[in-house]
Amino acid sequence: MTATDRLTEVLSNIRAAEAEAGRPDGSVTLVAVSKTFEADAIEPVIAAGQRTFGENRVQESQAKWPALKAAHPDIELHLIGPLQTNKVKEAVALFDVIETVDRDKLARALKTEMDAQGRTLRLFVQVNTGAEPQKAGVLPEDAAAFVRRCREEHGLAIEGLMAIPPFDEPPAPHFALLAKLAGEIGLKTVSMGMSADYEIAVAHGATHVRVGSAIFGTRPKPA
Ligand SMILES: *Cc1c(COP(=O)(O)O)cnc(C)c1O
């Protein structure tokens, strides 16, 4: 199977999961995660019609996406990995959505840089639903206050929440928690679910699923 075949299969699985959950057709956006893959592996997937992509590193993205975006201006690029403040300038120039806003210092830097570049990116707050010490994201109990500070103190519109559940736990309770938090805070966008569990995420209300290896194949190196 090619990446294009697998894309078709993942999309049809998403549509089936939407129907199964009684959700409108097309209510879930597939973010195709192309990290570690070169432009020549990504191009066929773009040619097949996919327009939303995710990357986890700014530097790697700078090597391949400016040319791909120039050729396909309707592509929407999501940053799904941690963002250091010294990379904010490059990130604001290249990405359309940053899914990993998780601290005040980063929020301030994003506001300053978006104003300077005259660009408005869509922003999601990352939540560490498993409270894992090594993982980025705000704690679930701090999410509402952080979103409020983003709005009121930093002047940022937050569109939604994103989470990466612990690797070694069933994801469903984490998906349920993230969707509940989004509802409580009044956010409609929920980014959750990866290759192994995106259908479960759709059942729990994901609006965005981030799927890499199920489309592009096993990654050539760890990311
Ligand atoms: C790599 C990555 C994904 C995609 O993972 P797969 O298991 O390959 O689908 C999703 N979200 C984040 C944050 C990632 O870093």
Whether 95 has a pLDDT exceeding 80, the answer reads yes
Q: Which of 21, 32, 35, 79 is nearest to 201 (CA)?
A: 21
Whether 222 has a pLDDT exceeding 80, the answer reads no
Asked whether 163 lines ligand 1 (CB < 6 A), one says no
- If pLDDT is split at 50, 70 and 90, which confidence band does 24 have? very high
> By alpha-carbon position, which residue is closest to atom 7 of ligand 1?
195
Q: Which of 7, 10, 55, 56 to mutate to test the pocket of ligand 1 (most atoms within 8 A of CB)?
A: 56
Distance 70 CA to ligand 1 centre (A): 25
Q: Which atom of ligand 1 is nearest to the CA of 223?
A: 1
| DSSP label at residue 24 | P
Inter-residue contact 99 to 191 (CB < 8 Å):
yes
Prediction pTM value = 0.97
Percent of the chain with pLDDT over 90: 97
Q: The tokens of 113 are what?
A: 């840089």
- If pLDDT is split at 50, 70 and 90, which confidence band does 219 have? confident
Sequence-distant (≥ 6) Cβ neighbours of residue 134 within 8 angstroms: none
Asked whether 211 lines ligand 1 (CB < 6 A), one says yes
For position 221, what pLDDT does the model report? 62
Q: Which of 80, 210, 218 to mutate to test the pocket of ligand 1 (most atoms within 8 A of CB)?
A: 210
Render pLDDT for 97-131 as a digit per residue (tens, 0 to 9).
999 999 999 999 999 999 999 999 999 999 999 99
On average, the pLDDT of the chain sits at 97
For position 30, what pLDDT does the model report? 98
Q: The tokens of 212 are what?
A: 């890499």
For position 65, what pLDDT does the model report? 98
Residue 82 identity? P
Q: Which atom of ligand 1 is nearest to the CA of 35?
A: 1
Distance 211 CA to ligand 1 centre (A): 6
Asked whether 82 lines ligand 1 (CB < 6 A), one says no
Percent of the chain with pLDDT over 70: 98
Long-range contacts at 61-68 (CB < 8 A, ≥ 24 apart): 61/94, 61/95, 62/90, 62/94, 64/38, 64/39, 65/94, 66/94, 67/39, 68/39, 68/42, 68/43
Phi, psi (deg, nearest 5) at residue 179: -65, -40
Asked whether 193 lines ligand 1 (CB < 6 A), one says no
Integer Cα distance of 63 and 59 in angstroms:
7
Tokens 């773009």, located at residue: 46
Inter-residue contact 190 to 150 (CB < 8 Å):
no
Integer Cα distance of 146 and 126 in angstroms:
10
